[in-house]
Amino acid sequence: TGYTALDYGFVNTAATKSAITYIDGDQGVLRYRGYPIEQLAKNSTYLEVAWLLIYGELPTADQLGEFDEKIRRHTLLHEDLKRFFSALPHTAHPMSVLSSAVSALSTYYEHQSDPNNPEHVELNTIRMLAKLPVIAAYAHKKSIGQAFLYPDNSLGFVDNFLKLNFGVLSEVYQVDPVMSRALERLLILHEDHEQNASTSTVRLVGSTGANQFSSISAGINALYGPLHGGANEAVLDMLGRIRDSGESVQRFVERVKNKEDGVKLMGFGHRVYKNYDPRAKLVKESADEVLNALGVSDPLLDLAKELEEIALNDAYFQERRLYPNVDFYTGVIYKAMGFPTRMFTVLFAIGRLPGWLAQWREAAGDPQTKIGRPQQLYVGAEERNYPGLS
Ligand code: CMC
């Protein structure tokens, strides 16, 4: 049956056409629907960019207001679903809680989850955007043993999320505008990144006819891995280990270069960017600014900068064109905001959600979409006869 190209990791194979995100990895360029990421991160909001990704154009003020309003109306979780969290250990990783709860969420909307019904698709787009942050905050609260708060629909998307995470029942919570804007910017930077592993997972699962909840739950699991979204957590763990071990940064870099115990410089390197990741540039710029504004000083930020400086001047990293990626500096900021390390990848998931939704919808609406079904090159035994038990 014809020629099958072998392409481990899909390094050379496009699985789809897409009109959503453009990346030029050599130049370090990232655009959503044609708009440079720098402009969006500076001037836009999470929901505005979500609209752009999902519907293809920037919204008018009215469209955005209506979108925001609809999302606020769908933030509540069914009370039974809230009890679902009690069945999981408080030690559970919040990413596992998140993907499980999104899968569980699907059971409440089975009657309205037909991927071929535009009304269902629209409704579940809103539901996912409204409820994922609530589930994420409950995963956080569960891990620290605090009571869940109800969403406060007088607040915008990011402020509501901050309150759900850091508010406590007995006190009035005041949103810090510096923290809110900083988080909004980080979320915007994560909103889409074309056919990365989790988005490809969402598309692959979606290609079977699975609904948005099932597809996105699968995407969350793909994001969890340390080579993908899990890298932001792994960076902080790495920085902490270097600090606690007393090992010099230079010595750590030597171990990476020698590939000792498979140790990598987490938060460095990218399949597509062979230049500075434009998102990392923006995150780095805001790290100092945000920490100062929040009145936090963290030696791990200095350690990260030292590590970057040494790596960028080292032939190993230069030859392989390894630069900091988006995950290198985000963790330091999330930490300064008060998020525990294990929540970092959950924040990435909230950021990436509009991209997953947009890509799922693009694939579902594309008549060329077929079930994703890679080929293999078989290298096993030739035909042989069953000999019976010896
Ligand atoms: N530290 C040390 N060496 C590295 C690193 C690193 N972080 N990344 C790549 N290399 C080396 C790799 O060992 C290989 O060397 P050699 O040619 O001697 O075998 C060479 O660079 C090429 O790397 P590769 O593994 O073929 O590249 P890839 O495109 O398959 O992998 C990557 C991309 C992101 C998985 C990888 O760079 C990596 O593991 N980075 C660390 C994890 C990380 O930060 N992930 C976040 C990615 S960005 C945001 C996201 O998706 O979440």
CA distance 226 to 4: 30
Q: Which of 140, 192, 270, 277 is catalytic?
A: 270
Residue with tokens 């050379």: 12
Render pLDDT for 231-286 as a digit per residue (tens, 0 to 9): 999 999 999 999 999 999 999 999 999 999 889 999 999 999 999 999 999 999 98
Tokens of 73: 């109306």
Verify whether residue 74 is a known catalytic residue. Answer: no
Predicted pLDDT of residue 2: 67
Element (H, E) at 97: helix 94-106
Render pLDDT for 300-312 as a digit per residue (tens, 0 to 9): 999 999 999 999 9
The ligand 1 atom nearest the CA atom of 223: 52
Decide: 70 in ligand 1 pocket, CB within 6 A.
no
Decide: 277 in ligand 1 pocket, CB within 6 A.
no
For the question of whether the overall pTM of this predicted structure is more than 0.95, the answer is yes
pLDDT band (50, 70, 90) for residue 1: low
**Residue with CA nearest ligand 1 atom 31:** 271
Render pLDDT for 142-184 as a digit per residue (tens, 0 to 9): 999 999 999 999 999 999 999 999 999 989 999 999 999 999 9
Verify whether residue 327 is a known catalytic residue. Answer: yes
Decide: 231 in ligand 1 pocket, CB within 6 A.
yes
Render pLDDT for 200-244 as a digit per residue (tens, 0 to 9): 999 999 999 999 999 999 999 999 999 999 999 999 999 999 999
CA distance 232 to 344: 6
Fold of 17-227+341-364: Citrate Synthase; domain 1 (1.10.580)
DSSP letter, residue 268: B
Predicted pLDDT of residue 312: 96
**Residue with CA nearest ligand 1 atom 36:** 269
To the nearest whole percent, how much of the chain has pLDDT over 70?
99
CA distance 292 to 370: 50
CB 138 within 8 A of CB 92: no
Architecture per CATH, domain 231-337, reads as Orthogonal Bundle (1.10)
Other C-beta atoms lying within 10 Å of the C-beta of residue 151: 21
- Closest by alpha carbon to 354, among 20, 42, 10? 20
| Per-chain mean pLDDT for the chain | 96
**Residue with CA nearest ligand 1 atom 22:** 320
CA distance 42 to 350: 19
CA 323 to ligand 1 center in whole angstroms: 10
Decide: 151 in ligand 1 pocket, CB within 6 A.
no
Decide: 73 in ligand 1 pocket, CB within 6 A.
no
CB 33 within 8 A of CB 19: yes
Render pLDDT for 323-382 as a digit per residue (tens, 0 to 9): 999 999 999 999 999 999 999 999 999 999 999 999 999 999 999 999 999 999 999 999
The residue ranges of every structural domain in the chain are 17-227+341-364, 231-337
Decide: 235 in ligand 1 pocket, CB within 6 A.
no
CA 195 to ligand 1 center in whole angstroms: 17
What are the DSSP E strand ranges found in the chain?
21-24, 29-32, 35-36
| Buried-state track 251-278, b at ≥16 Cβ within 10 A, e below 16 | ebbeebeeeeeeeebbbbbbebbeebbb
Angle ∠(213,57,185) on CA atoms, nearest 5: 70
